[in-house]
């Protein structure tokens, strides 16, 4: 077991800086997910923790010991890769035992650890098979088993579910979380999939262009995104963004179509009279009576998902685009107008220049 400290870490390739001073303290036994789009630097950060990339500046410590100059083999970590990285000519047993064998561990201890890991991962009946005789999910279990037998201080996962089909990803997601809870091993998991991140992580590091845009629990990040980027990246469908003005006293949001919505907690006097970005999640819009509707959505497309429907359209003089998620018990048709209302408690206000959350 171990805690991991990432302190003001930078990474530069030649003259290009790709990681811009990331810091995060990971507690013993915590499951941290590094989330972000392709090219944001999430795998590079993980590889620096693993020792596969040299740190340009900053410090990474495991259990209080700085590991910047340690080789990967000396960091007491185990890594699960996207492509499984199994030896195709070896059986499942030999794949799981190989790392222990080269460390000259006694045969009896190797046998004990491999059998125990196989039992945990429900691989006992496959120990004599080779990787080509296994399904994708079984191969990923073998890759995890190879990590478990080492009994490392830290597990590192580099998009391990990306090669699996949708149904198997859900199953493996549950198995990874249960495994981590049972073993209580500090884990760092990299993914571009927000569903994986929200369901797996105790906390998330949301990355944007090499920086940590926000660090927090999944619920904190969903309810109070620190930037417009985080608000748009977390949530499906994505958050709606509308350019609006605040009243001179900062008490009201002036919506397109001559409607206004009160701001909670005394408003935002610091931005009174200014243009801001209003963020509204599709699931926070509700149907209203004709007179109560704050926004009148002109519907141009409907996607029926079963229990819910996604309704797309525009409203106001500027034809602001809006996506809403509504219960499918209602029947929505193209070229109709829907009166909508959103609670002021569910609105998100972002500064137009910095795109950072405006706290009120």
Give me 41's structure tokens.
């630097």
Reference 135, options 100, 171, 110; nearest CA is 171
What values do phi and psi take at 225, rounded to 5?
Answer: -60, 135
User: 271: alpha, beta or left, given left = phi > 0 and alpha = psi -120 to 50?
Assistant: alpha
188 and 286 within one domain: no
Do the Cβ atoms of 75 and 67 come closer than 8 Å?
A: yes
Q: CB of 27 within 8 A of CB of 3? A: yes
Q: Are residues 275 and 146 in the same domain?
A: no
pLDDT per position as a tens digit, 173-206: 988 898 898 889 999 999 999 999 999 999 999 9
| In a domain? residue 356 | no
Question: Is 96 in the same domain as 213?
Answer: yes
> At residue 290, does pLDDT exceed 70?
no
Residue 357 in any domain: the answer is no
Residues 175 and 160 in one domain: yes
DSSP per position, 291-345: TT-SEEEEEEEEEE-SSEEEEEEEETTTTEEEEEEEETTS---TT-EEEEEE-GG
75 assigned to some structural domain: yes
The arrangement of strands across the sheet holding 31-35 comes to 77-80, 154-158, 186-191, 31-35, 203-208, 211-216
Spell out the residues 6+ positions from residue 131 whose beta carbon is closer than 8 angstroms to its own: 84, 86, 87, 88, 90, 92, 95, 139, 142
User: Is the bond preceding residue 67 a cis peptide, omega within 30 degrees?
Assistant: no
pTM (two decimals): 0.90
Residue 360 CB-half CA count within 13 A: 26
Q: How far is CA 154 from the centre of its chain?
A: 19
**Residue 359 maps to a domain:** no
Regarding whether 208 and 151 lie in a shared domain, the answer is yes
pLDDT tens digits for 60-104? 999 999 999 999 989 999 998 888 788 999 999 999 999 899 889
Give the largest Cα separation in the chain, rounded.
78
Do 57 and 198 belong together in one domain? yes
Q: In terms of domains, do 13 and 152 share one?
A: yes
**276, part of any domain:** yes
When divided into structural domains, the chain yields a total of 2
> What is the structure's pLDDT at 175?
87
If asked whether residues 119 and 217 sit together in one domain, one would say yes
Q: Are residue 244 and residue 210 in the same domain, yes or no? A: no
- Domain with 300 in it: 237-351
pLDDT over 60 at 124, yes or no: yes
**What pLDDT score does 257 carry?**
67
213 in any annotated domain: yes
Q: What is the CATH number of the domain that holds 251?
A: 2.40.50.140
Pair (180, 295) in one structural domain: no
CATH number at residue 110: 3.40.50.300
Q: How confident is the model at residue 292 (pLDDT cuts 50, 70, 90)?
A: low
Mean of per-residue pLDDT scores for the chain: 90
Per residue in 241-257, pLDDT (tens digit) is 999 888 888 888 888 76
Same domain, 217 and 241: no
**What angle do the packed helices 107-120 and 92-102 form, to 10 degrees?**
140
Q: How far apart are CA 123 and CA 125, in angstroms?
A: 6
Same domain, 191 and 288: no
Question: Is residue 358 a part of any domain in this protein?
Answer: no
Query: Last residue of some domain: 232, 258, 273?
Result: 232
Residues 6 or more apart whose CB falls under 8 angstroms from that of 249 comprise: 267, 269, 272
């Amino acid at each position: 077991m171990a805690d991991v400290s990432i302190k003001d870490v930078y990474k530069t390739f030649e003259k290009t800086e790709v990681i811009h001073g990331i810091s995060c303290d990971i507690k013993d036994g915590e499951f941290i997910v590094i989330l972000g789009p392709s090219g944001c630097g999430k795998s590079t950060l993980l590889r620096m923790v693993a020792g596969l990339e040299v740190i340009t500046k900053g410090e990474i410590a495991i259990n209080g010991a700085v590991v910047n100059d340690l080789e990967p083999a000396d960091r007491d970590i185990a890594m699960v890769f996207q492509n499984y990285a199994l030896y195709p000519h070896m059986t499942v047993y030999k794949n799981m035992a190989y790392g222990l064998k080269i460390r000259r561990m006694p045969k009896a201890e190797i046998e004990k650890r491999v059998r125990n890991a196989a039992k945990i991962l429900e691989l006992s009946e496959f120990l004599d098979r080779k990787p080509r005789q296994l399904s994708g999910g079984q191969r990923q279990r073998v890759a995890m088993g190879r990590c478990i037998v080492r009994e490392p201080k830290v597990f590192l996962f580099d998009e391990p579910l990306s090669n699996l089909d949708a149904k198997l990803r859900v199953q493996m997601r549950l198995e990874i979380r249960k495994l981590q809870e049972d073993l209580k091993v500090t884990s760092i998991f990299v993914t571009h999939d927000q569903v994986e991140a929200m369901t797996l992580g105790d906390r998330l590091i949301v990355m944007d262009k090499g920086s940590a845009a926000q660090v927090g629990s999944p619920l904190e990040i969903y309810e109070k995104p620190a930037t417009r980027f985080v608000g748009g990246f977390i949530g499906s469908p994505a958050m709606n963004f509308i350019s609006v003005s605040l009243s001179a006293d900062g008490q009201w949001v002036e919506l397109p179509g001559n409607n206004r919505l009160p701001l909670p907690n005394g408003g935002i006097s610091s931005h009174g009279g200014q243009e801001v970005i209003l963020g509204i999640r599709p699931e926070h819009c509700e149907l209203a009576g004709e007179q109560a509707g704050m926004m009148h959505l002109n519907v141009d497309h409907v996607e029926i998902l079963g229990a819910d429907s996604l309704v797309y359209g525009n409203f106001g003089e500027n034809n602001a685009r809006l996506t809403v998620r509504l219960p499918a018990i209602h029947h929505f048709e193209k070229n109709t107008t829907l009166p909508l209302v959103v609670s002021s408690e569910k609105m998100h206000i972002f500064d137009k220049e910095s795109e950072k959350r405006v706290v009120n």
